[in-house]
Homo-oligomer: A and B are copies of this chain.
Amino acid sequence: MGYTVPVGISNKHIHLSQADLEVLFGEGATLTKKKDLKQPGQFAAEEQVQIVGPKGSATLRVLGPTRKETQVELAMTDTRTLGLKGVPVRQSGKLDGTPGIKIVGPKGEIEIDHGVMVAQRHIHLSAAQAKEAGVVDQQVVSVKVLGERELVFGNVVCRCGDAHEREFHIDTDEGNAAALANDVEVEILL
């Protein structure tokens, strides 16, 4: 077997800008860490918000720290439940032309005019791990999953550098399509 990475399945979630955090949670609000994530410095916060679409609403956990721009990450199944159309598959931070949504917090609400996306599946690797795996930043690879719902994911982007730690990030649709659980080791195919 080649180089392997543990699976990390992302449930729907939101990243907030400091300005939007303060509208939703009050002036001077900060995020309270609930749990560290595998990626260095990233954490699940205690804070949650509601997003409201044409057909329904959903509760999203906030991931910290705050970012330059607010970003809502949904699985395609979620976009259908909410009644959102044309939500594109994007790399994190590439939000041009994405749709917006109404976000409701305990102290206020906002309507963002862009920022809703389905995350492109990707692998995080530190510089040393990337070297060991034989890949470079932004390289596109495949990932093989064994088991009952065996499959090979194509178009997996590697994101490499010292802000990263080995993990294969997919959404709940992708995890369920492969009957995967967190931390299962899957193989990179070059």
Contact = CB atoms under 8 A, between A and B. Distances in A.
Interface residues on A, range: 20 to 34
Interface stretch (A60-68, A122-130, A152-160): A152-160
Given A76-B176, A173-B173, A177-B174, A152 B149 contact: no
A188 interface: no
Interface of A is mostly: mixed
A92 interface: no
Contact of A77 (B89, B154, B173): B173
A150 to B, nearest CB: 3
Given A75-B176, A174-B177, A89 B155 contact: no
A70 interface: no
Nearest to A140: B150
Contacts of A148: 89, 155
B151 A154 contact: yes
A178 B173 CA distance: 9
A115 B111 CA distance: 43
